[in-house]
Amino acid sequence: MKKQIGLVGILLMMALMVLGACGQKEAPKLLEEPYYQEKFLLGTYTRIRVYDEGKEEALKPAFARIKELGDKITINQKGSEIDELNAQAGIKPVKVSKDIYYLLKEAYEYTEETDEAFNMAIGAITQLWRIGFDDARKPSQAEIDEALKHIDYRKIEFNDKDQTVFLKEKGMIVDLGAIAKGYITDEVVKVLKKEGVTSAIVDLGGNVYVLGHSPRGEKTPWNIGIQDPNKSRGSIVGSIKETNKTVVTSGIYERYLEVDGKTYHHIFNSKTGYPYDNDIAGVSIITNKSIDGDGLSTSVFAMGVKEGLEYIEDMDDGTNAIFITKEDKVYVTKGIQNNFELDKNSGYTMGNRDELK
Ligand code: ADP
Ligand code: MG
């Protein structure tokens, strides 16, 4: 009997040792100076920093994924999947790849949920104005009225079985510019994780994702600068501390057109065919998935700051937002009031919510 207990005891001890070894996964060694690459893709500078020692090779498949998806989604290049979908509007359904089918369905959901504040079928309007391109112009009212007839997302038909999508009316144009970068950011993070990366920063021009924690230690989050929407990329309004989160920024001064002293930016109202015009100069959304951050960063433009704050605070999944007004005031949702730190030299001040209209 004694002997038996001894045996059981030894077996138990061995089992515990094995378990212990599994549980005590060796912490990856992180670098102070990351492996870093920058490429001009998706019409912007895309940057990836990998902090895991020995994981430089992960940069390659990560950038390859950006290029692959960008080529499928763009409507500024002939032959992409979305370009083909648009070319067949009113003619026939188009089979798309699994990635793009998923993205189109997500875009459809956003369009429905936001009652077209976010509208995946806004292309007839955006292609008419072409804000951000050399040939941008203010169209005539007649042109806008005509384009408004072709932005009804309800005329987009999905067939799950065949993985086809059909724009049922000629003149319809799908534009995924408002969520493509968010989706691609999430896909890049997936690639990095698959390659064994635990600590990284992905920055696709306005879409940032911080993976894991900073190399300074397990308890040290990343310090993320919040872009100043009134200045070129690089200057910041303040910062927040996060791990495994995405920060997506959308601003009106990055791409705009000026006509007769009036500026027209690049996020459009589906009802009027003109850009939204309210107190928002820019917004940063902080959330778990970049596709959601991107979708929301566009959607809240329809709401203005007051309603936008309430909308984000009503979401109960830890999503937060930082709004910057045309009057250089900053407003943050309740969840990050103690996290957001204003940059004293930014020229911005924290706004008083009671004064919002
Ligand atoms: P960016 O990072 O380029 O600022 P945003 O996420 O702010 O991107 O999205 C802006 C882009 O979304 C526009 O350039 C256009 O392609 C598209 N877009 C404009 N208005 C809308 C809208 N109401 N709904 C969905 N997409 C829009
Ligand atoms: Mg967006």
pLDDT in tens, 71-115: 999 987 888 999 999 999 999 999 999 999 999 999 999 999 999
**Residue 351 beta carbon below 6 angstroms from any ligand 1 atom:** no
Ligand 2 ion local residues (Cβ < 5 A): 178, 294, 297-298
Q: How far is residue 61's CA from residue 22's CA, in Å, rounded to a whole number?
A: 29
Pick from 120, 144, 110, 93: which is nearest to 275 by CA?
144
pLDDT reported for residue 46: 97
Q: Please tell me the number of the ligand nearest to residue 287's CA.
A: 2
Q: Is 122 in the pocket of ligand 1 (CB under 6 A)?
A: yes
Q: All domains of the chain, ordered by start, with CATH?
A: 30-74+177-212 (3.10.520.10), 76-167 (1.10.3980.10), 221-357 (3.10.520.10)
User: By mean pLDDT, which of 189-203, 251-265, 338-352 is the weakest?
Assistant: 251-265
Q: What is the mean pLDDT of the chain?
A: 92
Burial of 91 (0-12, 13-18, 19+ CB in 10 A): exposed
Contact between residue 52 and residue 28 where contact means Cβ atoms under 8 Å apart: yes
Q: In whole angstroms, give the CA distance from residue 214 to residue 51.
A: 8
